[in-house]
Amino acid sequence: QMQLQESGPGLVKPSETLSLTCTVSGASITDFYWSWIRQPPGKGLEWIAFMYYSGTPNYNPSLKGRVTVSLDTSKNQFSLNLTSATAADTAVYYCARARVAGPKVWFDPWGQGTLATVSS
């Protein structure tokens, strides 16, 4: 059974880089697409990016320029780096497997989420 677990610092200072890692168990990260999605406290969901291990990542243009995603096949992990963090980046960050086939993209399963707070 596939499981995903996010990890990373819970507190990031403004202007610094928010870095998170998702560890996948029960599947190889080379077999699927993977995604990051975030949810500010009390608000809705925002897609950040998805990628396949051998392809170019797709990023949400609203974050492009600040966000980078990458995979570490040796650790079966994928990561998110968000530079120049501001309070607006405070959110629960979820990693998820992305099922991608042409125009079809859905997210299943999801990790439990990790709260990243941007504050001095």
Partner 1 sequence: DVQLTQSPSTLSASVGDRVTITCQASQDIRKYLNWYQQKPGKAPKLLIYDESNLKTGVPSRFSGSGSGTDFTLTIRGLQPEDIATYYCQQCDHLPVTFGGGTKVELK
Helix/strand/coil for 96: strand
By the rule CB under 8 A, 57 interacts with partner 1: no
Residue whose entry in the numeric block shows the structure tokens 């959110």: 91
Q: What is the dihedral of CA 66, 105, 24, 78, to 10 degrees?
A: -20
Between residue 64 and residue 93, which ones bind partner 1 under the rule CB under 8 A? none
Smallest Cα–Cα separation from 81: which of 65, 63, 61, 67?
A: 67
Q: How far is the CB of 17 from partner 1 (least distance, A)?
A: 22
| Comparison of 27 and 105: residue with beta carbon closer to partner 1 | 105
By the rule CB under 8 A, 110 interacts with partner 1: yes
- What six digits make up the tokens of 15? 């202007």
Residue whose entry in the numeric block shows the structure tokens 């996010």: 6
By the rule CB under 8 A, 30 interacts with partner 1: no
By the rule CB under 8 A, 94 interacts with partner 1: yes
| Comparison of 39 and 83: residue with beta carbon closer to partner 1 | 39
What residue type is assigned to position 52 of the chain? Y
Residues lying near partner 1 in the complex (CB under 8 A) are found at: 44-47, 50, 58, 60-62, 94, 99, 103-113
